[in-house]
C-alpha cells in the first residue's frame, strides 16, 4: 500500500515503478472498489495510459501520479463534466481550466472523474444522475459532499490524491466523514478561469483530498499562483516553516454557530485536539462566535440563489431553450427559482455583510493565531437519514408563486437538518480565509470525525505546521483499505 502521493512520485523517480504501472494499478482499484462505493463516474483509461507511456515526468512534483478530477467545475478538454446533472451528461468540454492545467503541469495523470451532487449544492453526495456515494468506513453511510466521490476514492486507495472543491465545506466535510486531510486554501491562492473567475463570489475554491501533510503542502506549493487576471489576488507563500516566538494561541469553539446539537463524538474529537495542544505548550482558551451564524447562512443562501439563477441563464443561452423543472432535481429548481427576483441592491447589501464577517474574524485573529472547532456535528450520515420533508417538497413545487422572503424561507427549511450536521465550515468560505480538517478521532463504531482549524487570510503555512505536529505525534486516526 502506498503511504501517499509523494511516495509514488519517489518510486517513479527511483525507477522502482513506472507511471504506466501506477495508472494500471489505479484503474484496477477503481474497477475493484467502485461497484461498492460509486465514487467514480467517468474513467479515461486510454488517454491516461497513453500519457503515462509518452510523457516526460522528470523533475515534476507529482510526476506520474494518478489523479481523479471532481465532476464539477474542473474541466479538461475532450472529457465530460456533468456537474451531477443530466443537463450536462456526456458533453465533452472544449477547453481545460487553469486549475486542471496546473495539475497537469505538476505531473499528475488524470484517470477519471468523481461523483458529486447536482451542481455541488448538498453536503451529501447523492445525485439522481449517478446515485449516492457510499462511505468506505460504512457502506450504509454517505461520504459527504459535495466532494464525496473524491473522499471515497482517496480513503479507499483508488488514488492517493483526488481533486476537490470547497464552496461551503465541500472538502472539509467529506474529509471529516472519510478520515482524510481537507484543506480549503485562502481566496485567490489557487488558479481560476478562464470560464469562471468568481466561483460563488469567491466562496468556492479548488484544491484536493489528501492522506498526508507533506502531500498537502507539496500540492499547495505546486498550485499556488499570483494570478493577475483574477479578481482575488493572494501573495505567494514563501516561508513554509513558521517560526513561533511565543506559544501558539488557539481559541476553541465547541458550540454550533446556528445553535444546533453537537454530538458527543464531535465533542470528543475536539477535546482530544485540545488536550494535545495543551500538552505541547499551546495556550488554549474557549471563545464565542464573533458573528451571527444564522445571519451568515441567510446571506450565504441568498448568494447561492442569485449565482444559481445566473448560471442557469448561461445554460439556457448555450442550450438555446428555456429550462424547466424536469431538467433538474427539485432542490436545484428551488434554488434557481429563489434567485430569479432578488433585487441587485439586496444582493449588494448581502455581499457587503461578507466584508463585516471577514473584519470580525480578523479581529479575533489579532488575539488568537488559530480557531479550533469541530469540522462537523456528527459522524457520517446514513444514506436514508435526511429524506425531504413533504411540506418542503410541496413548497418547492410551487416556489415560483412565492414572494422572495417566502422563497428564502423554503430554502432554509430545505437545508435546515443537513445544515445542523455541518454548520462549522461555511464562514471561512465567506471570509476567504483558509481552514483545514484533520482526521483525529474514530468513534466507538470506527467512524472518523475531524476537527477544523481556521487561520487568518493567507496563513496556510501555519495550518500545515500544526497539522504536522498532530501527524508526527500520532494523533491522526485513519484506516488503510485494501
CB atoms closer than 10 angstroms to residue 17: 15
Residue 252 contacts residue 274 (beta carbons within 8 Å): yes
Distance between CA atoms of residues 326 and 316, nearest Å: 14
Residue 224 contacts residue 188 (beta carbons within 8 Å): no
- Which positions ≥6 away from 400 have C-beta within 8 Å? 337, 340
**Dihedral angle over CA of 465, 468, 472, 474, nearest 10:** 130
C-alpha grid cell, residue 120: 455541488
Half-sphere exposure of 274 (CA within 13 A, CB side): 17
170 annotated active-site? yes
Residue 8 contacts residue 214 (beta carbons within 8 Å): no
Helices (H) and strands (E) in the chain, counts: 15, 15
- Which positions ≥6 away from 458 have C-beta within 8 Å? 186, 189, 234, 235, 237, 434
**Length of the chain, please?**
482
Catalytic residue among 26, 81, 85, 146: 146
How does 288-317 read in b/e, with b if 16+ C-beta sit within 10 Å? ebbbebeebbbbbbbbbbbbbbebbeebee
Catalytic residue among 170, 186, 212, 305: 170
Catalytic residue among 29, 70, 184, 353: 70
Which residues form the catalytic set? 70, 146, 170
Amino acid at each position: 500500500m502506498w503511504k501517499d502521493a509523494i511516495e509514488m512520485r519517489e518510486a517513479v523517480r527511483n525507477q522502482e515503478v513506472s507511471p504506466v504501472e501506477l495508472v494500471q494499478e489505479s484503474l484496477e482499484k477503481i474497477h475493484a472498489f467502485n461497484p461498492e462505493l460509486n465514487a467514480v463516474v467517468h474513467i479515461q483509461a486510454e488517454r491516461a495510459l497513453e500519457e503515462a507511456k509518452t510523457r516526460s515526468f522528470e523533475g515534476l512534483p507529482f510526476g506520474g501520479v494518478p489523479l481523479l478530477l471532481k465532476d464539477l467545475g474542473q474541466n479538461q478538454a475532450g472529457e465530460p463534466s456533468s456537474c451531477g446533472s443530466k443537463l450536462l451528461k456526456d458533453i465533452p468540454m472544449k477547453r481545460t481550466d487553469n486549475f486542471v492545467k496546473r495539475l497537469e503541469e505538476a505531473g499528475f495523470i488524470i484517470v477519471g472523474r468523481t461523483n458529486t451532487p447536482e451542481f455541488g449544492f448538498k453536503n451529501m453526495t447523492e445525485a439522481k444522475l449517478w446515485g449516492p456515494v457510499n462511505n468506505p468506513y460504512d457502506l450504509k453511510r454517505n461520504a459527504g459532499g459535495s466532494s464525496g466521490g473524491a473522499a471515497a476514492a482517496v480513503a479507499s486507495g483508488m488514488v492517493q490524491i483526488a481533486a476537490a472543491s470547497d464552496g461551503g465545506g465541500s472538502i472539509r466535510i467529506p474529509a471529516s466523514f472519510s478520515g482524510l486531510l481537507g484543506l480549503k486554501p485562502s481566496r485567490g491562492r489557487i488558479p481560476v478561469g478562464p470560464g469562471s473567475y468568481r466561483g460563488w463570489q469567491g466562496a468556492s475554491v479548488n484544491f484536493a483530498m489528501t492522506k498526508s501533510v507533506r502531500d498537502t503542502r507539496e500540492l499547495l506549493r505546486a498550485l499556488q499562483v499570483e494570478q493577475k487576471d483574477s479578481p482575488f489576488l493572494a501573495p505567494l507563500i514563501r516561508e513554509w516553516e513558521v517560526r513561533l516566538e511565543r506559544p501558539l494561541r488557539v481559541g476553541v469553539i465547541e458550540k454550533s454557530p446556528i445553535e444546533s446539537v453537537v454530538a458527543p463524538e464531535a465533542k470528543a474529537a475536539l477535546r482530544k485536539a485540545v488536550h494535545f495542544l495543551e500538552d505541547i505548550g499551546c495556550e488554549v482558551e474557549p471563545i464565542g462566535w464573533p458573528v451571527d451564524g444564522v445571519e451568515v447562512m441567510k446571506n450565504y443562501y441568498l448568494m447561492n440563489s442569485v449565482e444559481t439563477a445566473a448560471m442557469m441563464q448561461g445554460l439556457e443561452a448555450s442550450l438555446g431553450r428555456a429550462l424547466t423543472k424536469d431538467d433538474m432535481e427539485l432542490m436545484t429548481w428551488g434554488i434557481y427559482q429563489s434567485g430569479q427576483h432578488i433585487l441587485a441592491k439586496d444582493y449588494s447589501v448581502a455581499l457587503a455583510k461578507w466584508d463585516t464577517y471577514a473584519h470580525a474574524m480578523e479581529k479575533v485573529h489579532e488575539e488568537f493565531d488559530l480557531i479550533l472547532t469541530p469540522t462537523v456535528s456528527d459522524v457520517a450520515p446514513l444514506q436514508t437519514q435526511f429524506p425531504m420533508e413533504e411540506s418542503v417538497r410541496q413548497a418547492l413545487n410551487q416556489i415560483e408563486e412565492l414572494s422572495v422572503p417566502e422563497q428564502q424561507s423554503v430554502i432554509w427549511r430545505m437545508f435546515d437538518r443537513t445544515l445542523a450536521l455541518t454548520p462549522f465550515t461555511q464562514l471561512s468560505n465567506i471570509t476567504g480565509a483558509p481552514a483545514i480538517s484533520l482526521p483525529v478521532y474514530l468513534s466507538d463504531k470506527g467512524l472518523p470525525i475531524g476537527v477544523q482549524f481556521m487561520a487568518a487570510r493567507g496563513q496556510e503555512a501555519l495550518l500545515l505546521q500544526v497539522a504536522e505536529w498532530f501527524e508526527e505525534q500520532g494523533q491522526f486516526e485513519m484506516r488503510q483499505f485494501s
